[in-house]
Amino acid sequence: MKNRLKVLRAEQDWTQAQLAKELNVSRQTVNAIEKGKFDPSLPLAFRAARLFGLAIEDIFQDEDAF
């Protein structure tokens, strides 16, 4: 799954650890999501969307859909 998490995090000038704390996950989880090695659960995707004030689809895109 492609995502814009790293870009959005950088726009806020947050470290992976800071974003992880906001999302209540580990820094390693944030790193894996940013690298496309881990797809977030739906509740985690919703938390990220609320945190950045965006729709889930504005952060995460299914690579197979295009």
- CA 3, 20, 13, 50 dihedral sign is positive
**Counted domains in the chain:** 1
pLDDT at position 63: 77
Determine, yes or no, domain membership for 48.
yes
* Cα–Cα dist 44/65, whole Å: 21
Q: Crossing angle, helix 16-23 and helix 42-52, to 10 degrees?
A: 110
Q: Tell whether 61 is covered by a domain.
A: no
Residue 27 CA to residue 58 CA, distance in Å, equals 22
Whether 63 is in a domain gets the answer no
- Check residue 62 and give its pLDDT: 86
| Average pLDDT of the chain to the nearest whole number | 95
- Please indicate, yes or no, if residue 64 is contained in any of the structural domains: no
Residue 34 sits in a domain whose CATH number is 1.10.260.40
Q: How far apart are CA 35 and CA 50, in angstroms?
A: 21
Predicted confidence (pLDDT) per residue in 1-33, tens digit: 899 999 999 999 999 999 999 999 999 999 999
- Evaluate whether residue 62 is within a structural domain: no
